[in-house]
Amino acid sequence: MAAVCELSLPAGTINEEFFTELQDEIARELRLIEAEEAEAEALACRIAEIYRKLHPSDNLRTIPGVGEHTAPVFLAAVGDPLRFRNQSAFANWEGVVPGARQSSNVEAKGLRMTKAGPSIMRMALYQAGDIGRRWDPQLAAVYYREMVYHGKNHQQAMGAVMSHLGARVLTVLKEDRPYELRDPDGKPISRDEARNLILSEYHASEDIRRERRRRKREVSNPFKARKKDRKTATHRTNEAAQSSSACRSPSHLPKTSLTQSNREVK
């Protein structure tokens, strides 16, 4: 308000009408915000109503990381889970499996995710997976293995977590039973025990995260890295050329040689 007045004073527009119009504009913006919030709340209530009708057991939300916003997304995107014959078909549909390229006798693997399925499904898997890996020891073990032993960055490690979380979503919907927390060996475990296990065994240190972020920046900008390498190589070549020319310069030759050459010319 003070900034508006400061800009308006030199123009001479500060009067009673100015404050009245400003007050009306603020009131209009507040009414628009209230209307948007009311519409969003009504839509959320309607989504919750349909979700309870289609999935009364609410077993989806027993999966760590799946909450009131992501569970309806999974239910709506998957639809009838029986239409997927196996987990591989479901993973290919949701698009969180790495792509592959084959040419003649050469097959390239470990490429980027295909992203073939609905983008809203992948977004929900990412959000739920980023929370679920903090509470599910099996997801935490997958994330830890990708980060520490396979040298992946956060985004790449989350791709593996999303794939495993998608398998849990399909299983829960097909069997319509609650999800059960288990350790990496398959033994049932309580929520508190799971959290303690993750913090003690599957916590990626900040040094590892920093190293993966640095490597990601280098890979994401290969032209800058190549330019830096070319600049270094050019600098070394110039140094070598200067050193070589310095060794061949006349100032480094014996004086007797020059004297003898002059005499021969005369």
pLDDT tens profile 173-212: 999 999 999 999 999 999 999 999 999 999 988 888 888 8
- pLDDT value of residue 126: 96
> How much of the chain exceeds pLDDT 70, in percent?
68
| Amino acid symbol at 28 | R
Which band of pLDDT confidence, cut at 50, 70 and 90, is reported for residue 107? very low
What is the tally of helices (H) and strands (E) in the chain?
11, 2
Distance (Å) of CA 204 to CA 9, 17, 121, 135, 150: 57, 61, 27, 14, 13
Are the CB atoms for 154 and 78 separated by under 8 Å? no
Which band of pLDDT confidence, cut at 50, 70 and 90, is reported for residue 253? very low
List CB contacts of 77: < 8 A, sequence separation 6 or more. 117, 118, 120, 121, 124
